A and B are shown apart, each in its own frame.
Chain A
Amino acid sequence: MFQVFCIFIPLLAAIFMPFFFKKISSIHTGWFVLVVPVFLVIYYATFVPAISKGDTIIEQLEWIPSLGISFVSYLDGLSLLFSLLISGIGALVVLYSIYYLDRTREKLHNFYIYLLMFMCAMLGVVQSDNMMTLYLFWELTSISSFLLIGYWNNRDKSRFGALKSTMITVAGGMMMLGGFVLLSIMGDTFSIRELIAQAPELVTNDLFVVALVLILLGAFTKSAQFPFYIWLPDAMEAPTPVSAYLHSATMVKAGIYLVARFTPIFAQSEVWVWLVSATGLLTLFWGSFFALKQRDLKGILAFSTVSQLGLIMSLLGVGAIAYHVEGAESSIFKYAAFAAIFHLINHATFKGSLFMIAGIVDHETGTRDIRKLGGLMSIMPVSFTVAIIGSFSMAGLPPFNGFLSKEMFLTAMISIAQFDLFNFSTWGILFPIIAWIASVFTFIYSFYFVFKTFTGKGNIEELPHKPHEAPVGMLISPVILAGLVVVLFFIPNILADTFIKPAVMAIQPFLYSSPEQINIHVAAWHGEITTELYMTFGIIALGLVLYLTLAKWQKMYNLFPSKLTLNNLYDFVIYELFDKWVARLSGQYMTGSIRRYLSYMLGSIAIIVIATLFIQDAFRVSFEDASPIRPHQIIVILVLVVGTITTVFAKSRITSIVALGLVGYTVSLFFVMFNAPDLALTQLVIETISVALFLLAFYHLPQYRKEEERTRFRFSRAFVSIAVGVMVTLVALSAHSQKFIGSISEYYKETVYSLAGGGNIVNVILVDYRGFDTLFEVAVLAIAGIGIFAMIKLRLSTKGDKL
């Protein structure tokens, strides 16, 4: 129970934050918040020994048992790794934010509530075994991310970024929900573990590929894959701790987590392998290529995040190939999943530290524009060191952890070219080439980021603030992360044994039965010169050349037409397509004219009914029990028809009114002919009154509207009215021609005197057999009367003050 409860600890703590902020204002609220992630790190660290042996721990809290929905805390290698990342980097980010956000100027309670909300949501995402609660937490990450990006909600760009990221991630989340629902229909369970167990049967299901694509869309939008990455650069308007936490280390990896988690289910499919690896690779290249175009430090880092996420994603896609290979546990494909997890950890460390450095630079100089920065090396030595470590790791240089994972990435990419299934033997050769080019660009933007900021001459005097080294507290977190970057290079195998191998086992549970079976030994130097190493040399050489000539060819980016970007596509869809075009479209048919709406309604009813009549073959004509028609009836009908036609085509309104009266009287004559004296009486009186009322209304028409004018002929209206007439006629004929049961009127005839004690059968029905209807028709009349009285008497002007 406590394990599930731990997911909600941040949320519970969030409740108390306004209290701490308002009542204990002398201490920065962040210190109270810091307790939560630190506690969680320690708590989750206690699971490490058990999990690294390959065990899984599960605890469940029923939420809606009747629907099979429950809160689950399922800890295996993958979710424990993510939980530790979330709480660990969470702790560092909170620590950093204590120094980054000002206690007196910022609304800290809001910030920390959102942050804790996010932490809870993220823990829920990675630990949920139940797909419905996974989706619940998934949406909570979107919402809290929205709140955090828009934290400075008085800025336009913050609100724009928040809106954009929410639109994209929530749209993906919805698709993912659809995928989840399809999966649960296929497997008849919400539990991911149970679905994994029945993975072989699921592949044959028709819905399988649809569910696959929908879930991937969810993962791609969240993890900023091509072409959904566009929200991430705009999310950089968030405070830097948020960017470091959400948009580098945790939330954007939720999609990675999802792909990793569902790999055992979907990896059987060719579509999955291709989609995941190709999208990842394209994102990798695209992100690294356009990172160099950026002028903003955080913009560079955002594109770099996009590109690195693509790297991890493509590795997961290649890792899925292991399902299709005989003896994969000894083949070269085993590296892919391992490298994905390894790089995921590495990326969280170096990207977190780089974001914090960007925040420090912003905080101490007042600008993040790389063109204004430069020459900060001697002023901010610690930041510079951290930035160097982070950037070199990002570029994949020894002795930093990025080198190791990049080597393994290249290994995996080379191996794919040798794979001869799903057309990889032909197209697969592109994979290492693109990966290599992207790595070159990664190298260049890493150097671009660090050296353009810290070296060169710079114009320090013109910066908004006079720069100086950041306070110690602010440097703690990036230094810790940078330390990890270096340490992980030297002890990768300890990391591998405790975290990566259990996580790989979660991704590829069919291949291994325990983490020890994964015989991968990470080493910076394999003792032999491999192809990967040559590729790394090539990256460094070409990267250096291109970096040194950067000023010459960076202008090339301006050649790309600014109209043809994905951001413009998004703006076009949201602001042109949805806002303008849809408004115009609804303006086209929502004209505000009742005539229009009536013709829509009546026309569609007529078309639907007539079509149904003929499609269902329900139209019958039979005059079996029809009464004979008398000559005088024909004449009365002619009178009725003439009256109706006069009403419609009359030139003046008063003729219409009189003709309408004629129609009413003729109808009463019909009532007489068909033996309904009560109806005839009522009809006569009512007709007289309503004709009088029509005359009253006519009399009060403004003079200029009384212009005698024929109703204008419109083809569409004529069509609709003819259609309605045809519909009613057809339905009446059919209804008359096919009766399944007889009338119940015999009962009334027999009992009208014996039971009800009356002679007038109509009146007895009205007040005795079915008096309930009469009661409410009386009520209708009363309401109408009161309504008319109110409308005449109550004259509130638009100002609303006069009665």
Chain B
Amino acid sequence: MTTFIWVAIIIIVLSIVGLVYRLVKGPTPSDRVVALDAIGVALICLVGLFSIIVDTSFFLDIILLLAILSFIGTIAFSKYIEKGDIITRDNSR
């Protein structure tokens, strides 16, 4: 069981390294944003695996938070790339 989890951790960390390569290299901003999103997901997995190893439920909050942040972050980047603005001004004012 432990061996299996460690192997999983190593694989995920390696995938993070691959994603970081994409993040650094990524020819367009979109590549980088997708890489960042995927890093977020990989981090979620990592934290989950850690929680199993250290046998604690304290890190589950982090998993939820990461999921939310990763989502918001990706949305914000996407909106930025799409419209050049993140928070649109209220036109009625």
Interface residues of B (CB under 8 A from A): 6, 9-10, 13-14, 16-17, 20, 23-24, 29, 32-33, 36, 39-40, 43, 46-47, 50, 54, 58-59, 61-62, 65-66, 69, 72-73, 76-77, 80, 84-86
User: Which listed residue, A631, A642, A684, A699, touches B65 by the CB 8 Å rule?
Assistant: A684
Is there contact, CB below 8 Å, between B58 and A677? yes
CB-defined contacts of A635 to chain B, threshold 8 Å: 10, 13-14, 16-17
Q: In the docked arrangement, what's the CA distance between A699 and B85, Å? A: 8
Please encode chain A, from 609 to 636, with 1 for each CB lying within 8 Å of some chain B CB and 0 for all others: 0000000000000000000000110011
User: Which listed residue, B14, B24, B65, touches A646 by the CB 8 Å rule?
Assistant: B24
Q: In the docked arrangement, what's the CA distance between A655 and B20, Å? A: 12
CB-defined contacts of A515 to chain B, threshold 8 Å: none
Is there contact, CB below 8 Å, between A642 and B20? yes
Is there contact, CB below 8 Å, between B86 and A692? yes
Is there contact, CB below 8 Å, between A662 and B9? no
Q: 4 tightest A-B contacts by CB?
A: A635-B13, A677-B58, A688-B69, A646-B24
Is there contact, CB below 8 Å, between A699 and B84? yes
Closest-by-CB residue of B relative to A665 is B43
Given contacts A669-B43, A684-B69, contact A642 B62 (CB under 8 A): no
User: Which listed residue, A632, A646, A695, touches B80 by the CB 8 Å rule?
Assistant: A695
Is there contact, CB below 8 Å, between A685 and B59? no
Is there contact, CB below 8 Å, between A639 and B86? no
CB-defined contacts of B23 to chain A, threshold 8 Å: 646, 658-659, 662
Which of A661, A672, A699: most chain B CB closer than 10 A?
Answer: A672
Q: Is A638 an interface residue (CB 8 A)?
A: yes
Please encode chain A, from 480 to 519, with 1 for each CB lying within 8 Å of some chain B CB and 0 for all others: 0000000000000000000000000000000000000000
Q: Is A390 an interface residue (CB 8 A)?
A: no
Which of B6, B46, B69: most chain A CB closer than 10 A?
Answer: B69
Closest-by-CB residue of A relative to B62 is A680
CB-defined contacts of A654 to chain B, threshold 8 Å: 29
How near does chain A come to B82, taking the closest CB pair, in angstroms?
Answer: 13
Is there contact, CB below 8 Å, between A639 and B20? yes
User: Can you list 20 A-B contacts with CB-CB less than 8 angstroms, sorted by A residue number?
Assistant: A631-B10, A632-B10, A635-B13, A635-B14, A642-B17, A642-B20, A642-B24, A646-B23, A658-B32, A658-B33, A658-B36, A659-B24, A668-B43, A675-B54, A684-B65, A684-B69, A692-B73, A695-B77, A695-B80, A699-B86
Closest-by-CB residue of A relative to B49 is A632
CB-defined contacts of A692 to chain B, threshold 8 Å: 73, 76, 86
How near does chain A come to B61, taking the closest CB pair, in angstroms?
Answer: 6
CB-defined contacts of B69 to chain A, threshold 8 Å: 684-685, 688
Q: In the docked arrangement, what's the CA distance between A695 and B23, Å? A: 16
Closest-by-CB residue of A relative to B87 is A696
Interface range on chain A: under 10, 10 to 19, 20 to 34, or 35 or more? 20 to 34
Is there contact, CB below 8 Å, between B36 and A685? no
Is there contact, CB below 8 Å, between A662 and B62? no
Closest-by-CB residue of B relative to A650 is B24
CB-defined contacts of A688 to chain B, threshold 8 Å: 69, 72-73
Q: Is A271 an interface residue (CB 8 A)?
A: no
Q: Is A35 an interface residue (CB 8 A)?
A: no
Q: In the docked arrangement, what's the CA distance between A658 and B30, Å? A: 12
Within 8 A of B (CB), among A663-696: 665, 668-669, 672-673, 675, 677, 680-681, 684-685, 688, 691-692, 695-696
CB-defined contacts of B73 to chain A, threshold 8 Å: 661, 688, 691-692
Q: In the docked arrangement, what's the CA distance between A672 and B48, Å? A: 10
Given contacts A632-B10, A696-B86, contact A680 B43 (CB under 8 A): no
Closest-by-CB residue of A relative to B24 is A646
Is there contact, CB below 8 Å, between A672 and B47? yes
CB-defined contacts of B14 to chain A, threshold 8 Å: 635
Q: Is A287 an interface residue (CB 8 A)?
A: no
Q: Is A603 an interface residue (CB 8 A)?
A: no
Q: Is A643 an interface residue (CB 8 A)?
A: yes
CB-defined contacts of B46 to chain A, threshold 8 Å: 669, 672
CB-defined contacts of A685 to chain B, threshold 8 Å: 65, 69
Q: With A636-B13, A672-B47, A673-B50 given, name 13 new contacts (CB 8 A).
A: A632-B6, A635-B14, A639-B13, A642-B20, A646-B24, A658-B23, A665-B40, A669-B43, A677-B61, A684-B66, A684-B69, A695-B76, A695-B86
Q: In the docked arrangement, what's the CA distance between A749 and B16, Å? A: 36
Is there contact, CB below 8 Å, between B61 and A681? yes
Q: In the docked arrangement, what's the CA distance between A638 and B47, Å? A: 18
CB-defined contacts of A643 to chain B, threshold 8 Å: 20
